[in-house]
Amino acid sequence: MSAADLVEQPETGITPGVEKGGFRDVLAPDHARRGKPPLHFVDMSHAERITSVQALGLPKFRVQQLANHYFNHLSTDSRTYSDFPAAKREEAAQQFFPNLITEVTRQVADNGTTIKTLWELFDGSRIESVLMRYTKRTTLCISSQVGCGMGCPFCATGQLGLTRNMSTGEILEQVRAAAVMMRDGQVAGGPGRLSNVVFMGMGEPMGNYKSVLAAVRQMSELPPAGFGISARSITISTVGVVPGIRKLTQEGLPVRLAVSLHAPSDKLRDELVPMNRRFNTTQVLDAAHDYYLSSKRRVSIEYALMRGINDQAEHAQLLAKRLNHYGDNWVHVNPIPLNPIEGSRWTASKPEDEQQFLEILHRAGITATLRDTRGSDIDGACGQLAAKMTKQA
């Protein structure tokens, strides 16, 4: 075994050295040197939970009570565990609910309806999540990896490279924290409920498939098995990791799939999305359409508009043609005004080009809505989540 074999490889299913422009994750200098986060209740199977409860000298029905405290009451504070033997409360909470994410800063925008939180993980890694309250829904944008290895040049997270995958516990704790903020009225508009979750923060969810799926299941199951956020209100956004899309199709969960296309041709997408050299636009769109057929859920096509690069009439026309090739009403296109990142040569489109892009799609019978840029003044918008204050280990 060589030293390279000892380094844990990211779980993308992408092998290095494939025929056409082999792709491999861009790793951060500190990749995989950080060990694993402490095991949390949500990282364990039911059998593991029972074994651990019994190891504490408790009967197995206590697992259900712990699940109830976590998923129903959103509580990891042993002082609230009044149904638990007093002598074991603290030990149980420490064992099952280790503190996995610690708030570093909280930035507020849009009159208190957008909150971006910077979190520190057990190893000093930093990640972010953004909570956005709208009239009829409240959406949390979460991270699934520390950094990202996909190398999209216009994305702030992509510039960091991949440090490591996040555990199911680290992913779900972002959700619990946001659910608490909503319940306790910490977001402008009074107490409410977290209704939607999108995997559009840091990281490529398909690069961390197992942990992401376990998190999705526990978000969507009804309490006390999960947080009770409908799977239909959860969006997994991918750069186009085809084996991941195919695996997700097999799961049969009604989650929404978003595919970050950004270009209608391979020639252009090869430049904007390095992963396209591994899975091209035809493979990605085929997989996305199969997802639609099997889930009956419309797929979102994400398309960051970059001035003079992918935002011209010819691009919109080709995009419409490629999507209509598969039939009607199976996609919804989300053109996103580019959030320029420091040191990047790309800028946002002119407003008239954005409008023209939308009109061409509409005329071709494709539904498309310009994504709002909530939180852009606090770097909370898409692609700007780079955890600027990243602490070196």
**Is 90 part of any known ligand binding site?**
no
Query: Stretches 209-217, 279-287, 324-332, 333-341: which one binds ligand SAH (CB under 6 A)?
Result: 333-341
Give the whole-angstrom CA distance, residue 379 versus residue 211: 26
Q: Give yes or no for a contact between 131 and 187, defined as CB atoms under 8 angstroms apart.
A: yes
Is 141 a residue of the active site?
no
Q: How far is the CB of 63 from ligand SAH (least distance, A)?
A: 33
Which tokens is 27 given? 């790793």
Q: Where are the alpha helices (DSSP H) in the chain?
A: 3-6, 46-55, 62-67, 86-96, 168-183, 209-220, 242-251, 266-272, 281-295, 313-324, 351-363
Give the whole-angstrom CA distance, residue 45 versus residue 158: 32
Residue 383 makes contact with ligand SAH by CB under 6 A: yes
- Rank residues 179 and 386 by Cβ distance to ligand SF4 and give the closer one: 386
Binding marks (x or -) toward ligand SAH, 284..303, rule CB under 6 A? ------------------x-
339 binds, among ligand SAH, ligand SF4, none (CB under 5 to 8 A by kind): ligand SAH
Looking at 128, 170, 173, 354, which residue is catalytic?
Answer: 128
Choose which of 208, 237, 276, 310 interacts with ligand SAH (CB under 6 A): 237
DSSP state of 190: S
- Rank residues 66 and 336 by Cβ distance to ligand SAH and give the closer one: 336
Looking at 120, 170, 302, 382, which residue is catalytic?
Answer: 382
User: In one letter, which amino acid is 118?
Assistant: L
23 binds, among ligand SAH, ligand SF4, none (CB under 5 to 8 A by kind): none
**Is 233 part of any known ligand binding site?**
no
Give the whole-angstrom CA distance, residue 294 versus residue 291: 5
**Is 262 part of any known ligand binding site?**
yes
Pairing of strands 126-133, 114-120: antiparallel
Can you tell me which residue has the tokens 């056409």?
20
Give the whole-angstrom CA distance, residue 362 versus residue 66: 50
Which tokens is 230 given? 């409908």
**Is 99 part of any known ligand binding site?**
no
**Is 237 part of any known ligand binding site?**
yes
Residues that bind ligand SF4 (CB under 6 A): 148, 150, 152, 155, 157-158, 203-204, 239, 260, 383
Give the whole-angstrom CA distance, residue 160 versus residue 201: 13
C-alpha triplet 74, 384, 268: angle, nearest 5°: 125
For residue 224, the tally of other CB atoms under 10 A from its CB is 18
**Is 339 part of any known ligand binding site?**
yes
Q: How far is the CB of 29 from ligand SAH (least distance, A)?
A: 21
Query: Stretches 65-73, 112-120, 148-156, 188-196: which one binds ligand SAH (CB under 6 A)?
Result: 148-156
- Rank residues 49 and 126 by Cβ distance to ligand SAH and give the closer one: 126
DSSP state of 307: T
> Binding-site residues for S-adenosyl-L-methionine, please?
203-204, 237, 260-262, 339
> Binding-site residues, please?
148, 152, 155, 203-204, 237, 260-262, 339
Q: Which residues bind ligand SAH (CB under 6 A)?
A: 148, 154-155, 199-200, 204, 237-239, 260, 302, 304, 336, 338-339, 341, 382-383
- Residue numbers annotated as active site: 128, 382
